[in-house]
């Protein structure tokens, strides 16, 4: 596992992101994007689902809207307060994946999109906690950041965008993992991986302004979070070529789907 450092604390980073963002919409308008495309692979009506690290709640809002039974945990108080203001009916609590406020074997489906790579230490403890609350036979859908060229390019971009201040100290930002390495960690704790998908929530080509879809770019951030960070025709053409040629190195999320067999 590779640790990435920036010049902002991980918790401060998320609190700032969620302070700056508008509220998440109640539904995804494009079901073919990460993370909803992968949530669809595990969600089932009538079962109890939990999303840990739910951010502003776009996944929880979407499924609650459709009558699914879904609850959530999020470390950022800023994000939970925003959800509570717009959707007080949702069961979303401030909490930590390292100490989930659920009893053993309570949850049928557990989702964690972009959560576990925020842990500088204790990832195995977090997986043990996930396994504790997940029923035997329960489904999980967990995404991580891959250790590949796309992510390396992303860090170069951020260093260029936010140059180091004179007195800044490097602070932990995220983990990046190899697929096989993380699948083994899951298996060790009894979380058996059945599917691995490579995806991206944002193509690095989206960093190039003239390759972005005009209509999406002009809209608000929350629209991009429900419709996807879309490229224009030229951008999509280039992106298709790159993803076909380099499927491993163009992904920026890897999604692990499976069951708890412990």
Ligand X SMILES: C[S@@+](CC[C@H](N)C(=O)[O-])C[C@H]1O[C@@H](n2cnc3c(N)ncnc32)[C@H](O)[C@@H]1O
**Chain residues in the site for ligand X (CB under 6 A):** 14, 35, 52-55, 58, 73-76, 79, 96-98, 113-115, 118
Minimum distance between the CB of residue 24 and ligand X, rounded to whole angstroms? 7
Minimum distance between the CB of residue 75 and ligand X, rounded to whole angstroms? 4
Minimum distance between the CB of residue 149 and ligand X, rounded to whole angstroms? 20
Nearer to ligand X, 200 or 211 (CB): 200
Nearer to ligand X, 96 or 155 (CB): 96
Are 227 and 155 within 8 A, CB to CB? Answer: no
Nearer to ligand X, 76 or 252 (CB): 76
Minimum distance between the CB of residue 29 and ligand X, rounded to whole angstroms? 15
Residue 22 CB contacts under 8 Å (≥ 6 apart), including other chains: 220, 221, 222
Nearer to ligand X, 70 or 211 (CB): 70
């Amino acid at each position: 596992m590779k640790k990435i450092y920036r010049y902002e604390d991980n918790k401060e980073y998320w609190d700032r992101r969620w302070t700056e963002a508008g509220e998440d919409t109640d539904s995804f308008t494009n079901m073919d994007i990460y993370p909803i495309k992968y949530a669809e692979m595990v969600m089932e009506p009538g079962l109890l689902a939990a999303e840990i690290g739910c951010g502003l709640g776009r996944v929880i809002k979407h499924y609650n809207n459709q009558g699914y039974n879904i609850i959530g945990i999020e470390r950022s108080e800023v994000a939970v307060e925003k959800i509570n203001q717009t959707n007080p009916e949702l069961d979303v609590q401030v909490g930590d994946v390292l100490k989930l406020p659920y009893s053993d074997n309570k949850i049928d489906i557990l989702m964690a999109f972009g959560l576990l790579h925020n842990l500088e230490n204790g990832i195995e403890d977090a997986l043990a906690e996930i396994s504790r609350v997940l029923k035997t036979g329960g489904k999980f859908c967990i995404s991580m950041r891959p250790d590949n060229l796309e992510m390396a390019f992303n860090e170069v971009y951020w260093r260029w965008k936010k140059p180091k201040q004179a007195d800044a100290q490097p602070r932990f930002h995220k983990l990046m993992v190899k697929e096989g390495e993380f699948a083994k960690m899951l298996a060790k704790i009894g979380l058996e991986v059945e599917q691995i998908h490579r995806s991206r929530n944002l193509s690095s080509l989206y960093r190039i302004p003239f390759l972005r879809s005009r209509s999406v770019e002009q809209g608000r951030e929350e629209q991009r979070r429900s419709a996807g960070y879309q490229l224009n025709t030229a951008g999509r053409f280039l992106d298709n070529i790159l993803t076909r040629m380099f499927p491993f190195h163009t992904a920026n999320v890897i999604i692990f789907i499976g069951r708890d067999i412990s």
